[in-house]
Amino acid sequence: MSIGLVAAAAAALMIAGSASPLPAEIKAAQARPAGTTRTDLQRHDLSISGREVFQARVDFAPGASFPRHTHPGEEIIYVLEGTLEYEVAGKPVTLKAGDVLFVPTGTVHAARNVGDTPAAELATYVLEKGKPLTELVK
């Protein structure tokens, strides 16, 4: 393969926002509840030492939920479609497509699709590098 083709492929990946996916050992530890799927979109190191940004699309079937959990960093949520109810620090908030939510570092939260159609969110995380994305809370 010529250097020009390699450079073009690398540029296409950068333009598309592709980055290295989560390491296999982290993905394996992140089992999904029934009715939810996560599509990893991009992950990049930040200019702040020890921090990275990770972005994913999370889809919820009607009635599906993700249990109470925390993250080792901030989460910024944008609801793409449907209606999702979040419990953030014990307080409920219901969002529809186009709404946003900020979840501070270490805050216990959960999500569920309260509608009768599929729902989805774009989740952007600013994380401590090397830590699992999610820690379930009882």
pLDDT averaged per 10 residues in sequence order, the chain, 138 residues: 40 39 48 92 97 98 97 98 97 98 98 98 97 94
Cβ neighbours of residue 80 closer than 8 Å, sequence gap 6 or more: 57, 97, 120, 121, 122
- Specify whether the backbone of 98 is left (phi greater than 0), alpha (psi in -120 to 50) or beta: left
Structure tokens at 23: 């390491």
Please state the pTM of the whole predicted model. Answer: 0.78
The side-by-side arrangement of strands in the sheet containing 91-96 is: 91-96, 83-88, 109-113, 65-70, 135-136
For the domain made up of 20-136, the CATH class stated in words is: mainly beta
- pLDDT at residue number 127: 97
